[in-house]
A and B are shown apart, each in its own frame.
Chain A
């Protein structure tokens, strides 16, 4: 690890100011960033912790019924506090990593990082959530732009994520055996106006919506509706843990299981 300055502001405004310096970087739970620093793969001059900012903490229900989660809320807190308001999302948070990771890692860090095998991107895109930053609101459909790439500008802070709550939802995660991130994860959310299916872990382009499945399920919300659908393996990730064909296959199986869980 190289040396860096450390700041722990208590307001978003102070955090924005602190991030203004050259090579400053936001620090959430550090579950991705700290290992990167330890391996000397990044050298920020300053880390600005999000953990002391009260307005970025916690789970609350907005007037329109959506669930807003502060950008620095840990996975463990989401698992506990959203269990009543948005159980499928709480269940997703409860399946991330291990207790140590869940007690440190944050939704803002996970979404900003957009790891192609991370769970939250599927939950956010599958729910059609809105990413709220210090400067603007970004629809999930516009936010995720490929592996480790998002619509965030430099130094932009995710202050909260707002989730419309579906009638039913389910996250089906098939574990990569070593990391236990998602080898394939499917987040399915059923709203009055339609079904959204978001897939993580599988594609070389990061989290994506499986639109054929959405169309088919909008016509008929039954597993049979998926029978003839196949994901093209071409753009899937193929590695030690699973071939492209296998991942394409798993997308179908996990989607089917999500439908069963929501039926």
Chain B
């Protein structure tokens, strides 16, 4: 029986009422009396030396308050990187400065050179056009392999080369790996590209900053997934401000997808310049600016090799990846191709020997950082594509090959540093086979053929590591932050509850799902519980929302704080009921004495906490508790996906005919929200597989700089999804047994789509091994006719 409230209920998303009726309060909706506007003059050259900036003409233009260039930021910190990677030789990664405004050089199209503050935006733009900038153009470094060569043009003059780090994970001994491959009965090799993406949340980035001369306090409103992280980085590393004098607010945020995790130069600029100008300042990115300044995603070029023995058991896996970091290190960029990617290369399989090699490269492109899935989609794509290719080469059923190699015993220590706590990969695959009606595929294929279309089926698995993760472990791996989270449960006198959470909801539905948990624990109506998030002055602390961590980490903190509340409330109830605390039971919002009909309601206990006339002397009045939670391990959601496509043999056009996801997310709080998260993730995965392509030309000009050339998936590009999350092996180490579902769809779906297209082509007699994403009609047609 589906529940109608509490944990397990598909409660309707309460936040959608304001989102859908235009009543949201986004950063751009915030206007501060007397505010001036900021416009950034950005480089239209990918790589060059700035020989002169002349702002004199611009300074006298109407409405101009002040013009800033790199000179104004000499001595001010640059944008920090939050994760230090140690390379294969034990040396720290090369970490070049990332100034707020360009210092001496521009390194990508969109790099900010100057900022104009003016009374109106149009005046700021007018003045920016009057700034004269002389740039001596340098060759753009675009190709990662060429960038790694000795003698390549240097992007950062003070570094020894363009390689941020050369890193590896897993088996260290090359001879041992070579031996595995030499002894293999079969080796499948695949070269592939994980295409660069632009996240493109519906809401572009915005910053509004205020400085109070009277109190010396700063307030920054910003489009962020993690306001506390922004405050910490900006105060401690960039501007050197005391944290208690800075409030960072991330109100309603119109989508993040990772690209709003990072601390951006524009936020620090506005905060700094609000004081310098003694004016509140507002900056709103145009969509064009978003294309050239939001951190982009993916962009790996890999060779992956899979070794199998004569019985088709996987015996070894070796990958060599060039990972594009762009021109500068964005906040978490260094962690994505390493600890969020290499550690996932075991996938769902018991491959005994794995070696992952990654060269992370600087190029004259927009910085690359975490985008929905962050490293895990890149890992999954390599693994699930090479397995599919192996199955084709060996002439075996791709599902059977996967099943044969599944990990079946848990906990399982992978050769790439993780311990999976639970999972049931065969069980999940069984669910997929049923939900996707794989038995009926042959008939569907015949029907497509009768209509002149090639039909293909692609199946793959994925594993991800979510709920990132024990702070002591990530610290050892180079993280410069802890990855716990916090919640304060404040019970009001009349029994309603505000929960101040460190997670930030920007589309995930926390405002609905989190109260379901607290209400369920106490046995009260969900509507009595509300969460507060996104404001450093209101919440205890928060590492924010990314990596599918909110419920697993922050939700656990919330559960622990609620447990403390219940413990205290029981003491009060025991006092009121003149019973022993050990005999008090809480059910449906009533405290009762076990074995009697004596009870007191939740609301009477909470009122007593605040009107403590008849109160236990040893208990403090009030009812508010805070908990911090640091997880013991990652969580490991896993799943199996099936995609059916039709290919038009005349045009190469691919249409998705069916897409089915079977996921194991452990326990589920709100099945409808989980469905929605999976739908959105698959939409992004299909976008990556078929449509989205962030492309630069050889001079570093962005070719896909607007929606005219960057193809976002639209509703009619996507099918109705089948989503099954009835395969549930609860996480063993967090109180809710939850694993996280936010990224699964984006991680699991690209290989399913590509595998399906290749299946269609091969079934149609076209021996095609691989097509790089996005599989545009032009590329598919070229592959068929190549």
Contacts and interface: CB of A to CB of B under 8 A. Distances in A.
B709 A243 contact: no
Interface string B685-698: 00000110101000
A249 B650 CA distance: 9
Interface stretch (B150-158, B235-243, B774-782): B774-782
A240 B709 contact: yes
Contact of B651 (A39, A40, A240, A253): A253
A39 B288 contact: yes
A84 interface: no
B778 A178 contact: no
Contacts of B708: 178-179
Interface string B706-736: 0111111000000000000000000000000
Contacts of B650: 253
Contact of B782 (A40, A243, A253): A243
A246 B695 CA distance: 19
A39 B652 CA distance: 35
Which of A177, A240, A250 has the most C-beta atoms of chain B within 10 angstroms of its own C-beta? A177
Contact of A1 (B122, B703, B778): B122
A242 interface: yes
A240 B122 contact: no
A239 B122 CA distance: 34
B704 interface: yes
A253 B712 CA distance: 26
B707 A240 contact: no
A245 B695 CA distance: 20
Interface string B316-338: 00000000000000000000000
Contacts of B122: 1
A128 to B, nearest CB: 28
The interface residues of chain B, by DSSP majority, are classed as: loop
B125 interface: yes
Contacts of A239: 703
A174 interface: yes
Contacts of B707: 178-179
A242 B709 CA distance: 12
A177 B129 CA distance: 34
Contacts of A174: 651, 653, 777
Interface string B570-593: 000000000000000000000000
Contacts of B710: 178
Interface residues of B, number: 25
A241 B710 CA distance: 10
A229 to B, nearest CB: 15
A40 B127 CA distance: 13
B781 A249 contact: yes
A246 B778 contact: yes
Given A177-B776, A178-B707, A253-B650, A240 B781 contact: no
Contact of A240 (B704, B712, B777): B704
Nearest to A40: B125
Nearest to A181: B708
Interface in A1-53: 1, 39-40
Interface string B268-301: 0000000000000000000010000000000000
Nearest to A98: B714
Given A39-B288, A179-B708, A253-B651, A240 B125 contact: no
Contacts of B652: 246
Contacts of B693: 240
A30 B397 CA distance: 56
A242 B776 contact: yes
Contacts of A183: 777
A239 B288 CA distance: 20
Contacts of B651: 174, 250, 253
B691 A240 contact: no
B210 to A, nearest CB: 28
Contact of A178 (B125, B288, B711): B711
Contacts of B778: 241-243, 246
B653 to A, nearest CB: 8
Contacts of B288: 39
A238 B571 CA distance: 75
Interface in A221-263: 239-243, 245-246, 249-250, 253
B668 to A, nearest CB: 35
Nearest to B690: A177
Interface string B668-705: 00000000000000000000001101010000000110
A178 B708 CA distance: 5
B695 A240 contact: yes
Nearest to B707: A178
Interface string B100-141: 000000000000000000000010010001000000000000
A242 B777 contact: yes
Nearest to A177: B711
A179 B781 contact: no
Contacts of A179: 707-709
Interface string B389-427: 000000000000000000000000000000000000000
B776 A241 contact: yes
A242 B778 CA distance: 5
Nearest to A238: B778
A7 B690 CA distance: 45
A148 B709 CA distance: 18
Contacts of B691: 177-178
Contacts of B695: 240
Contacts of A40: 125, 129
Contacts of B125: 40
A177 B709 CA distance: 8
Interface string B637-659: 00000000000001111000000
- By Cβ-Cβ distance, the 10 closest A-B pairs, closest first, are A178-B711, A242-B778, A177-B711, A246-B778, A179-B708, A253-B650, A178-B709, A177-B691, A240-B703, A240-B695
Interface of B: 122, 125, 129, 288, 650-653, 690-691, 693, 695, 703-704, 707-712, 776-778, 781-782
Given A39-B288, A178-B691, A240-B695, 6 more contacts: A40-B125, A183-B777, A239-B703, A240-B703, A241-B776, A246-B781
12 contacts: A1-B122, A174-B777, A178-B704, A178-B712, A179-B707, A179-B709, A240-B709, A241-B709, A243-B778, A245-B782, A246-B782, A250-B651
